[in-house]
């Protein structure tokens, strides 16, 4: 759990205030993370909280996006499975994977969901570049790839023009855990990680890369909070 989990008032948000960055400690249970995220998004929509990037990890789980087919879940008894309101198909989350929940006001960004997803892709590609890895898009597929293997996933939902969910980057997870699903709905889809590529796996370094790349892509002023905080 994030320590403390709840009970911290969100930072008040001016009209165009800085994006607040928070980082969790131990893996956060998925239902708890979703409830916390939804509360923060509601506050952002009401102008009562600043936009937020929440960096965390989850225990081993599978999540089902709105486009997923049941046949794509190959090992339904292996880990807990959660329905998710985000777009996309089945995804694995677990220790060694950096999840970045992006709670951002799209009213400030043109109310263009497609352009927002493209910006998230740009963010991941720029992060990987800083870590010495060449990430790329694959036409017709959401996420970022290194050659033929997927290294990062994107799944978002928008409520009152504020985004929920976000991106996940494989730093050093157990890649065998992905065998319980069909990533991207494709049986032959390969997955990879920074560790498998021999790249940087220190999570603090990865987080610094994410922060610098976000500032570059979104051009945002940011403010940090102590680690082990939730939104």
Q: 62: closest CA among 49, 45, 51, 77?
A: 77
**Strands 97-103 vs 52-56: parallel, antiparallel or unpaired:** antiparallel
Give, for 119, the enclosing helix (H) or strand (E).
Answer: helix 113-130
Beta strands in 24-161 (DSSP E): 52-56, 61-64, 81-83, 90-93, 97-103, 136-138, 141-146, 149-159
Radius of gyration of the chain (CA): 16
- How far is 2 from 24, CA to CA, in rounded Å? 5
Residues with catalytic function: 184
- How far is 59 from 2, CA to CA, in rounded Å? 12
DSSP 8-state class, residue 45: H
Q: 142: closest CA among 114, 162, 161, 112?
A: 114
Close Cβ partners of 64 (under 8 Å, ≥ 6 residues apart): 73, 81, 82, 83, 84, 89, 90
């Amino acid at each position: 759990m994030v320590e403390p989990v709840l009970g911290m008032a969100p930072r008040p948000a001016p009209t165009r205030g800085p994006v607040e960055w928070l980082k969790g400690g131990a893996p956060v249970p998925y239902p708890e993370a979703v409830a916390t995220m939804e509360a923060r998004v509601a506050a952002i929509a009401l102008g009562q909280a600043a936009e937020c990037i929440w960096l965390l990890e989850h225990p081993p789980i599978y999540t089902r996006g709105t486009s997923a087919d049941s046949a794509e879940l190959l090992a339904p008894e292996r880990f807990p499975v959660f329905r998710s309101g985000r777009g996309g198909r089945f995804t694995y989350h677990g220790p060694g994977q950096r999840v970045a929940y992006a709670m951002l006001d799209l009213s400030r960004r043109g109310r263009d969901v497609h352009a927002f997803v493209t910006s998230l892709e740009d963010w991941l590609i720029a992060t990987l570049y800083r870590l010495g890895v060449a990430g790329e898009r694959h036409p017709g597929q959401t996420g970022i790839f290194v050659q033929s293997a997927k290294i990062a996933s994107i799944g978002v939902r928008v409520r009152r023009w504020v985004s929920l969910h976000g991106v996940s980057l494989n730093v050093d997870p157990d890649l065998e855990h992905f065998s319980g699903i069909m990533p991207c709905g494709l049986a032959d889809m390969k997955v990879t990680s920074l560790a498998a590529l021999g790249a940087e796996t220190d999570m603090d370094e990865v987080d610094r890369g994410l922060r610098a790349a976000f500032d570059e892509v979104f051009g945002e002023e940011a403010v940090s909070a102590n680690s082990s905080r939730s939104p």
